[in-house]
Amino acid sequence: MKLIARIAAPAAALVLAGLTATACAPQTSDNSATKDDKSGTLRVWLFQEVNNKPKEQVVDGAVAAFRAAHKDAKVEVEYIPVETRAQRIKAAFNDPKSAPDLIEYGNTDTAGYVKDGGLADVSAEFAGWAEAKDTDPTARTSVTVGGKIYGAPLFVGVRALYYRTDVFKELGIAAPNTQDELIATAKKIHKAKPELYGLAVGGAYTYGAMPFIWASGGELAGESGGSYKAAINSPAAQKGITAYTSLFGDDNCPAAKCASMGGNATVTAFASGKAAMAIGGDFSHQAVEAGSVKGKYAVVPLPGRDAGSIAPAFAGGNNIGVLKSSSHRTLAVDLMKQFAGKETQRKLFDAMGFLPTYTDVRSEVAKKEPFVGPFVKTLGAGTKFVPASPGWGQIDASLVLPTMFQEIVSGKKDVAAASDDAAKKMDAAFAAAG
């Protein structure tokens, strides 16, 4: 959920907070603005953080810089709860008079919001924005639907492998260099220390499982002519599913305990000292630091199939978009650039730990904060994103992939049957979304 960096939860879980409402909502009627006022008050909705003061200070600075360049414009910022954002944003799409000019939104929401007719196409402005040329490709993908740009990336989040340095030292083992080594190491640790999960995994941890699928050459879905078709049951994807589900069992993470765990639970298990390894995000750093393993862990990129390779990770994050109904489009686009520009992203990293979406700025912050290194390296190796279809929201909200993993680890279905069933559900959602 884009929403990832601030509450130390998996990106998926946070964006899910309201996706059901948007996934099935009828398409909004055309609410395009009929004027473009160059003065007046701009209204902005941003997400409320657990600790919001540092974010407010950065935003206030960005607003001050914007107002210095636009003397006739004022800005009102409202911080809205993540939990109710889907309902509020959908209502705003349907009622332009009460709608804000700009919104912060989770990057997996883009396609759904575009289908709902809420976001303005800012392709021309984005193309002419000098800073945008340094936006990393995956972040750019997260604001792109049908080849058009619907906002600016605000921050990105990615996952890597957290591991216990004290446990590894005691057992005389090194950080795994391949996916097979990772699986073998997890089981070796659990055998030596039965009280620990070797690698904490979760049947409901979709974004922790995806790197195994992608590392094996699999994909969630394929796209042709704007239409998506599930690929989760391809031989390559099934190979990755088999690798991930092999970590559930009495030799690592018992299915009875781990089948229902999500990303939060796996990170909590690691932070509390119950697991020797976990797949966690840069946004999990504060939670781990606050746990009992502080000073006894390190982070490396999650290994891929080949020695020295990095498994492709899901790139979560948040974006800033201009509403199609805004009667201050030119001003709103300028404010969007101020919020999502390099200077503000630098300050958001310092204040909140949000990873910048610009490759050059990310390199800068990695030099300042060593813990960021493995995540920046993971991003540099190439990340993946979810299908840019409004149907993805329904797939995610209806837990299609967690159900598949849980059916496999419980023994109810084999990989082929479970992935075939998941593919059918995905295709139904893609078709319904149009």
Tens place of pLDDT per residue across the chain (434 aa): 444 433 333 333 333 333 333 334 444 456 777 789 999 999 999 998 877 899 999 999 999 999 999 999 999 999 998 777 878 998 999 999 889 999 999 998 899 899 999 999 999 999 999 999 999 988 999 999 989 999 999 999 999 999 999 999 999 999 999 999 999 999 999 999 999 999 999 999 999 999 999 999 999 999 998 899 999 999 999 999 999 999 999 999 999 999 999 998 999 999 999 999 999 998 888 889 889 999 999 999 999 999 999 999 998 899 999 999 999 999 999 999 999 999 999 999 988 889 999 999 999 998 989 899 999 999 989 899 899 888 998 898 899 999 999 999 999 999 999 999 999 999 999 999 87
How many other C-beta atoms lie within 10 A of the C-beta of residue 332? 26
Secondary element (H or E) of residue 420: helix 415-433
The pair of structure tokens assigned to 47 is: 């997400």
378, burial (CB in 10 Å: exposed 0-12, middle 13-18, buried 19+) = buried
- Among residues 275, 290, 304, 266, which one has the least CA distance to residue 168? 275
How many other C-beta atoms lie within 10 A of the C-beta of residue 250? 10
Asked if 433 contacts 116 with a C-beta cutoff of 8 angstroms, the reply is no
| Cα-Cα-Cα-Cα dihedral sign, residues 415, 416, 421, 427 | positive
Token look-up 């309902």 returns: 87
Token look-up 């101020």 returns: 338
Secondary element (H or E) of residue 268: helix 263-271
Give, in order, the Cα–Cα distances in Å from 24 to each of 10, 241, 294, 416: 23, 28, 43, 29
User: Which letter does DSSP use for residue 249 in this model?
Assistant: S
String of DSSP letters for 296-365: SEEEEPPB-SSTT-B---B-EEEEEEEBTT-S-HHHHHHHHHHHHSHHHHHHHHHHH-PBPSBHHHHHHH
pTM for the complete prediction?
0.82
Q: What is the pLDDT of residue 428?
A: 97
The pair of structure tokens assigned to 254 is: 């018992």
Q: Return the SS3 of 253.
A: strand
